[in-house]
Each structure stands twice: as structure tokens, then as C-alpha cells.
Amino acid sequence: MTRAGHELPGAADAGSPEGVPQVAAEIAKTRGQESAENVKKLAETVAGALAKMQEIAEKIQNNTSKMIVDGEFLTQEDVAEMVMNLCDEKISKLINGRVIPNDRVFYPVKPIVGTAIDSPALPDLKDKVIVITTSSSAKKDIERVKQVAKLAQDSGARQTIVLANNQGDMQEYSEFHSHAINMLDEESVRHIFNTARTKFGRIDSVIHFTGDYDYNAAFNSLSRKQWDALVDNFIYMPGLITKEAVNAMAPEGALRAAFRAAQSFPGARPVSHSVCRSSDPAPKGLPLPRSRFPGAGAAAKPAPACSGRTAWSGP
């Protein structure tokens, strides 16, 4: 980039005949190719590059303006005022290296989720029982599940079990030991994990695939049905899978030992632990939340009555 070239982007006459040929002539001179034909070709190249830069800059400005509450950028004076305030000794100690959006632009940040383990060799899964669960029917997620299942088999796993939430996906997993279950039905999830543990002696690892979330979709654009599906897929299903997986993978007596240890915790006090029966009427005075278990898409129902057990919590 020449000295004159630095002044072209953003200038009112960036594409004028006076600006571009001057830059082209400077470039040709530094290259020792000052013929009229070379200068003309360089001028066309410079003009094209400037047009592309302007196009990209306008797109960035347009996209960025949508991230601001009122769509207005701060003036240079406003930015300077914010910088001076952030430089205050007390404020600077509070933020201490944190990133502060000083132009009122909050850039969307996606979570960084690793999809691979940095390992030079295949994991040693000899005689291990691996359960892979998935609530996604997207083609790329199905392929991911199949790749992980195949890797487990190739690494010597004793058994690889694939559990899918959609019955229609079963033919995709025909080469593996696979089942379709309702992942919002607590009894179904518990039964399949207990069956696997009973049949194979133990469960060594559980891997759950939720699928991807569309980060460009605004929350206020979702219908109630879409919102319920989102909550089911990314909260209820993973939570239920995790709970039943932990119970199934825990050694015999481990949960009872943990319960007894909780009782002996200094300052522990009994609290209500509910074992609910969905067929019972709601206790008087309790709210009526939307029931999610068992069954997907359940309508609002009275909260089930609960038979009392005792758990313990700390102070």
C-alpha cells in the first residue's frame, strides 16, 4: 500500500480519476514497470480493490448498526468520554481486563464447544459399554453419532448402544445395537438404562447429542410450540438423560452411602423429597406448572401429589 493509497479508503473521491491513477503510478514506479499499459492495468486493479473494500465496509457497518439498541453509533466525543471514564482507577480495577463494548455494540458470542479430543491415538475402550443418545434427526448429527459409534466399536468396546428419540431414525443406526425411546418419558429412559446395566453388567460412558441451535433465530420470533421444543431438546432431555445415566453408572450402594453421608453432614436438616404420582390430585395451595414428565408436549396439568420421603440439605 502506498502513501497515497492510505488516503483513498473512505475518501469522497476514492474512485475518482485523480485518486486511482496516482496510486497505480506509484505502484508501477516501485516495481519498475512504468509503461502506460501497466499503469492502466494497475489502475483497474486498484479501483476493483477499493470497490470491494467499500462493499465489505458497508456490510459490516450495516450489520453492526443492527446490534445497537437505537441503531445510532456513538460520536468520537462520546467514545472519548467513555474511554476516560473507563480509565478511572476504581473502574479499571473493577473491569480488570474484561472486554467492555465501548461503542454500544454487543457482538453475539457463540459457545466454544469441542467436537473432538486432541489425542494422537484411539482411546482404549476394550470391554467398555458405551451408550450414545441423540435427540437430533439432522443428517449431520446422525453422521456424527454413527462416526462416534463406529470409533467405539473399532476401539474394542464390548457393546455400543445407540438410543434415538425419533423412531424414524432407526434405519440409520441398523448396523448398531439401537433402540428408539421417548426421551421425555422418565420411566422409559430409566428402564432402558437399567436394562443395559442388567444385561451388560455396567455402563462405562454415556454420550448425548442435542444437535445444533440456530443462533440467528430471535427468541421473540419463536412460537410457543417452537419454544417448548427448544426447552425440551436442550434442557429437559439432557437433564433427564444425565440423571438416569448417573444413577445407572453409580456402583451398587453408592447412592445409599451418599444419602447416609448427607444425613451426617454438620447442620444438615430434613427437607421434603417428593416421589410423585401423576394420577394423584394436586395438593391444596400448590401452583399448577406445565407438566413435562412423563410424555412430550403435555398440556398444563395440576401438580401431582407426592408421597413423602426425607432428604437432607446443609444449612
| Beta sheet of 159-164, edge-to-edge order | 177-180, 159-164, 129-134, 205-209
Strands (E), 52-199: 129-134, 159-164, 177-180
Residue 158: DSSP 8-state: S
Q: What is the model's pLDDT at position 230?
A: 92
Look at residue 203 and tell me if it is in a domain.
Answer: yes
Sorted by sequence, the CB contacts under 8 Å of residue 152 that are 6+ apart come out as 125, 128, 130, 132, 160
The rounded mean pLDDT for the chain is 74
Look at residue 95 and tell me if it is in a domain.
Answer: no
Look at residue 88 and tell me if it is in a domain.
Answer: no
Give me the mean pLDDT over the 124-147 stretch. 93
CATH number at residue 221: 3.40.50.720
Distance CA 79, CA 9 (A): 22
Does 136 share its domain with 186?
yes
Look at residue 75 and tell me if it is in a domain.
Answer: no
How many CB atoms neighbour CB 163 within 10 A? 25
Give me the mean pLDDT over the 183-205 stretch. 94
> Total structural domains in the chain?
3
Does 156 share its domain with 184?
yes
Look at residue 146 and tell me if it is in a domain.
Answer: yes
Read off the C-alpha cell for 180: 428408539
Does 134 share its domain with 168?
yes
Q: Final residue of a domain: which of 215, 249, 283?
A: 249
Confidence of residue 194 (pLDDT cuts 50, 70, 90): very high
Does 58 share its domain with 134?
no
3: pLDDT strictly greater than 60: no
pTM of the model: 0.49
Look at residue 260 and tell me if it is in a domain.
Answer: no
Look at residue 160 and tell me if it is in a domain.
Answer: yes
Domain containing 285 equals 266-313
Does 211 share its domain with 308?
no
Does 161 share its domain with 222?
yes
Q: What is the model's pLDDT at position 11?
A: 53
Does 134 share its domain with 227?
yes
Does 133 share its domain with 234?
yes
Helix (H) / strand (E) element for 273: namely strand 269-277
Q: What is the model's pLDDT at position 148?
A: 93
Look at residue 216 and tell me if it is in a domain.
Answer: yes
Over residues 77-131, the pLDDT tens digits come to 877 887 787 777 777 777 766 666 655 555 454 444 555 556 656 678 889 999 9
Does 168 share its domain with 140?
yes
